[in-house]
Amino acid sequence: MSITRDEVAHLARLSRLALGEEELDNLAVQLDAIVSAVARVQEVAAEDIPPTTHALPITNVFRPDEVRPSLSSAEALSGAPAAEEERFRVPRILEEED
Amino acid sequence: MIHKTAAELGALIAAGETTAVEVARAHLERIEQVEGKVNAFLHVAAESALEQARAVDARRAAGEELGPLAGVPVAHKDVFTTRDMPTTCASKILEGWVPPYDATITTRLREAGLVILGKTNMDEFAMGSSTENSAYGPTSNPWDLSRIPGGSSGGSSAAVAAYEAPLATGTDTGGSIRQPAAVTGLVGMKPTYGGSSRYGVVAFASSLDTPGPFARNVLDAALLHEAFSGHDPRDSTSVREPVPPVVEAARQADVAGLRVGVVKEFAGDGYQQGVLNRFNETVELLESLGAKVVEVSCPAFTYALSSYYLIAPSEASSNLARFDAMRYGLRVGDDGTRSAEEVMALTRAAGFGPEVKRRIILGTYALSSGYYDAYYGKAQQVRTLISRDFEAAFGQVDVLVSPTTPTTAFPIGERADDPMAMYLADLCTIPSNMAGNAAISVPCGLADEDGLPVGLQIMAPVLADDRCYRVGAAVEQALEARWGGPLLGKAPAL
Amino acid sequence: MTTLVPFDEALARYAPVLGIETHIELGTASKMFCGCPTEFGGAPNTHVCPVCLGMPGSLPVVNEKAIEYAIRIGLALNCSIADWCRFARKNYFYPDMPKDFQISQYDEPICFDGYLDVEVEGETYRIGIERAHLEEDTGKSTHVGGATGRIHGASHSLVDYNRAGIPLIEIVTKPIEATGEMAPLVARAYATELRELVRALGASDVRMEEGSMRCDVNVSLMPKDASEWGTRTETKNVNSLRSVERSVRHEIERQAAVLDAGQAVLQETRHFHENTGTTSPGRSKSDAQDYRYFPEPDLVPVAPARAWVEEIRAALPELPAARRVRVKAAWSLSDEELRDVINAGALDLIEETITAGASPAAARKWWMNELSRTATAQGVELSALPVTAGQVARIQALVDAGELNDKLARKVFEGVLAGEGTPDEVVAARGLKVVSDEGELVAIVDKVIADNADAAQKVRDGKVAAAGALVGAVMKASRGQADAARAREIILERLGQS
């Protein structure tokens, strides 16, 4: 298993990281080393082993359908890099997804 | 004053022999005196600390019954949200962010009358084992300023070890409390997953993150543990069972008849001899105290590190997506022409440090279509195997023990360019995060080679956190008798 | 301009296959994972908290009511309810999605494998339901600086997260085949039936115009002699029942033209334009979308107890299809009459009016005539008129008792709708009452006969039809309050014709 620089560039786009050329080069080398090391997990886990996603077997944790106080718009916007008309101001959006 | 334990300070304040304000002042002075060397804090909240202390004194004066830690100062890891102080997770991307809400644990500290001195340094978003991955500079180990204080909760461990605070909070995802406690000569506890609330803890790996206490002795750790634990309806993974009787266990300090398992897999290559020497002596000590020691094999533990470095980055890649320059935090490159997508990518590239980027890319890879089954899926299966090993082991013994870390504190910079070497620091601590069980690190001596602290890890079953304290306290009592006082007394003065 | 193949021609050569994904906002009081209100139309960013803003450290907790509604909808769609299922994170970056992942369900939906029967022109089509799963809605962006407020050409956008985190159920059909030329109507009928069903279940207000129900419509064509489906397009956010029908029709016509020209249909997302009835392609993505689904670690699995599911099943209300059969028979309606009642949104209102004591015919008459006209004139829904079913029944009761005639009753409606009070208050205030005092009526008749000698003479001469003019004059003189039938009897009596 080896990870190419192109793959790292694709992963960087998927994870919205505008990485420089040098960063991509370094990451490709490091990731390749890490992935070859951690690929050990494939040695042990047989098909019939169920995956664990939660350490403790808790189910059905719900809250009642009750309205609780919200933040004020001032609190909501307090950390916003830019705001306008009580809304979060963001750079132009390319296109709706979903 | 600053050398007193939290329990002592609480008792002195309760007895009216000192005030919370005096105690806070003493620690703020200490911070001023040593911070230049240690760099444990990202934010010192002197004003608000004194205000909180005054409030405690006023409540006491009004005859209110307060808890055992009322008026005792605490250093709070910068991963917990605080509405009156910035919360940055030591990242540029959150520089200056003041959350509009308190973490559940922050609220519980306040309710228990603890005085929050400030926010401590950490590896950025809790990713690391050395606190070198902080965007605001590394923290030094008070035992040797050229060495790391462990991580990711290295600011908390350094603050307590440097007597800047008697208590500190931390979070442990792969060892981020136990490892820094071990390398600074402190007690550090990772409670059972879900035993302490994650609400308001900026997430690294949600299925592993566990808040817990740091202290200079076992009883203090238990007191802080008890103060902030318990069910939280805001955290769906919070357990409903009552908090285990940790304080009682810390006072019990008795291992007679207890069955102790030594994990066979945690020894050998990569372990510093001085660490193994102290560990083996401590096992003998336990035997001499009446414990029944057996060797236990947990073969899946050797795969824990690999599994961890797939699961934690995967969850992190998703958890850290929200830092996108839209609602809070840093925004870079918004020149009026760039799209939101471009601004997101530029901001994230500028705002995250190298380790965070590395893990985001790794996690994105492990979750991406075509690789999920081979990496994330397999890692989750390994998690099952680790839990089964623990179950089998706890069928035979009451607690498991191992060294907390394979080595003592390494020099700052030594492993900075070698991520795999860095990751080895968490070798022994990770299995308990994977299975969610309780584990503690207590000091067990100084390594022969470098005279630096070594930690003993005690692992107990899920919700049997009290056993960690019971065994830890017994070891502490016996060793302190041998040393003539706490291990930290041997640390050089700052 | 895209070339199109006329619909009938397209259907002569190709068989359409449809798939419909419908997002419906559930009518819970609070959001899916936090206590913020779901109410439509609050001031921007006032129905938000750390959880639905995705603030660092915040954690979701599942709204139990949303689970209950999902199960209710699933049961009504004849679905199986999962014994155990999980939420998953769907990872993609978008400014209106606070966490840059959506909490959804992936391979473990809460409801799966059901069906919904719909009727089109007397024929029943069974639409298979693949799954129904829970997820959270996104915030809403306003695009600023562009020509028309559209995303294209905008300089920046403003985001309001009030909608973020509102519970959604996404209902996905199995492929809908063999509908031929009925495809657009079947699609519309499905959306209509689903809307009625969810409304009847009380699980959502399903207002398409407010976006609380939105359809994505998948269409593909296969040549009639082929055995494999063609490439499909997905038309997003089709926001009215009419648009569902039109978008299917348009895609059939467009794809037929593409295939006729020997080209391949692109698998893509398209947008529907209400004004032209056409679709246009979305932005093609350089990287294929990879959502990196994984189980949501912040939430624990949902394992609905069987007893709970059965409790919900037992409490299901009468479903629209059964109700239609019952109502049609009980009210003696034709198919067309029933359809008109449903389309007017009058079914519940008429039924309540009947429950309040009116006859089916009378209840239907008032709601479908008088009140429907008023609602149309005011541009509001029938149910939004300020008159209750109980009041309609009361007015009809007054008519039945002979205290009002239809003309007076309309005046009572006028008063009630104008906010003058209850029917009885309006009757009293306006002095609306059929003149039943015989002496008074005889006096009016005598005066009318005296004033209209010519007409009176015609009646005396045996032209009974001329009495109509006299009755009209009596009604006028009594300001409509006379009992017209009784007035006619008296006129004929006085003029020697009885």
Chain A positions touching B382 (Cβ under 8 A) are 41, 44-45
- Does a structural domain hold residue A61? no
Q: Note the pLDDT of residue B232.
A: 98
Chain B positions touching A27 (Cβ under 8 A) are 357-358, 361
Q: Do the Cβ atoms of C266 and C233 come closer than 8 Å?
A: yes
3-state SS string for chain B:
CCCCCHHHHHHHHHCCCCCHHHHHHHHHHHHHHHHHHHCCEEEECHHHHHHHHHHHHHHHHCCCCCCCCCCCEEEEECCECCCCCCCCCCCHHHCCCCCCCCCHHHHHHHHCCCEEEEEECCCHHHCCCCCCCCCCCCCCECCECCECCCCCCHHHHHHHHCCCCCEEEEEECCCCCHHHHHHHCCEEEECCCCCCCCCCECCCCCCCCEEEEEECCHHHHHHHHHHHCCCCCCCCCCCCCCCCCHHHHHHHCCCCCCEEEEECCCCCCCCCHHHHHHHHHHHHHHHHCCCEEEEECCHHHHHHHHHHHHHHHHHHHHHHHHCCCCCCCCCCCCCCCCEHHHHHHHHHHHHCCHHHHHHHHHHHHHHCCCCCHHHHHHHHHHHHHHHHHHHHHHHHCCEEEEECCCCCCCECCCCCCCHHHHHHHHCCCHHHHHHCCEEEEEEEEECCCCCCEEEEEEEECCCCHHHHHHHHHHHHHHHHHHHCCCHHHHCCCC
- Does a structural domain hold residue B348? no
Question: Residue C305: closest CA among chain A residues belongs to which residue?
Answer: A60
Q: Do the Cβ atoms of B291 and B258 come closer than 8 Å?
A: yes
Q: Note the pLDDT of residue A98.
A: 39
pTM comes to 0.90
A59 has a chain C CB within 8 A of its CB: yes
Q: What is the CATH number of the domain that holds B145?
A: 3.90.1300.10
Decide if B288 is catalytic: no
Chain A positions touching B325 (Cβ under 8 A) are 81
pLDDT(C286) > 50: no
- Catalytic site residue from B130, B134, B152, B441: B152
Tens of pLDDT, residue by residue over C215-260, are 999 999 999 888 888 999 999 889 899 999 999 999 999 999 999 9
> Which structure tokens are listed for C337?
């009459």
Q: Which of C95, C102, C304 sits opposite A93 (nearest CB)?
A: C95
Give the confidence band of B458 by pLDDT, cuts at 50, 70, 90: very high
Neighbours of chain B (3+ CB pairs under 8 A): A, C
Chain A positions touching B328 (Cβ under 8 A) are 79-81
- The answer to whether the Cβ–Cβ distance between A15 and B317 falls below 8 Å is yes
- Catalytic site residue from B91, B134, B157, B176: B176
Tell me how close the Cα of B408 comes to any Cα of chain C, in angstroms. Answer: 32
Tell me how close the Cα of B297 comes to any Cα of chain A, in angstroms. Answer: 16
Q: Which of A6, A65, A85 to mutate to test the interface with C (most CBs of C within 10 A)?
A: A65
Q: Note the pLDDT of residue C432.
A: 80
Chain B positions touching C91 (Cβ under 8 A) are 317-318, 321, 367
Q: Which of A62, A72, A95 sits opposite C46 (nearest CB)?
A: A72
- The answer to whether the Cβ–Cβ distance between A65 and C66 falls below 8 Å is yes
Range of the domain at A24: 5-44
Range of the domain at B30: 6-297+388-490
Number of domains in chain A: 1
Tell me how close the Cα of B386 comes to any Cα of chain C, in angstroms. Answer: 18
Tell me how close the Cα of A98 comes to any Cα of chain B, in angstroms. Answer: 16
Tell me how close the Cα of A56 comes to any Cα of chain C, in angstroms. Answer: 9
Q: Which of C91, C298, C299 sits opposite B321 (nearest CB)?
A: C91
Mean pLDDT for C274-289 is 75
Mean pLDDT for B331-338 is 94
Average pLDDT, rounded, for chain B: 97
Specify the 3-state DSSP secondary structure of C472: helix
pLDDT(A1) > 60: no
Q: Note the pLDDT of residue C283.
A: 66
Domains and CATH numbers, chain C: 7-307 (no CATH), 318-430 (no CATH), 438-494 (1.10.10)
- Does a structural domain hold residue B162? yes
Least confident of A79-93, B93-107, B134-148, C470-484: C470-484
Number of domains in chain B: 1
- Does a structural domain hold residue B375? no
Decide if B490 is catalytic: no
pLDDT(A62) > 50: yes
Q: What is the CATH number of the domain that holds A9?
A: 1.10.20
Chain B positions touching A69 (Cβ under 8 A) are none
Question: Residue A63: closest CA among chain B residues belongs to which residue?
Answer: B233
- Does a structural domain hold residue A79? no
Tens of pLDDT, residue by residue over C431-479, are 887 766 777 888 888 889 989 888 888 888 888 888 888 989 888 888 8
- Does a structural domain hold residue A30? yes
Decide if B176 is catalytic: yes
Instruction: Tell me the count of B-C CB pairs closer than 8 A.
Output: 102
- The answer to whether the Cβ–Cβ distance between B103 and C101 falls below 8 Å is no
Mean pLDDT for C167-177 is 97
- Does a structural domain hold residue A36? yes
Tens of pLDDT, residue by residue over B85-109, are 999 999 999 999 999 999 999 999 9
CA distance A66 to C66: 12
pLDDT(B360) > 50: yes
Give the confidence band of C149 by pLDDT, cuts at 50, 70, 90: low
How much of chain A is in helix, strand and coil states, percent to nearest 5? Answer: 35, 10, 55
Least confident of B52-56, C120-124, C246-250: C120-124
Give the confidence band of C285 by pLDDT, cuts at 50, 70, 90: low
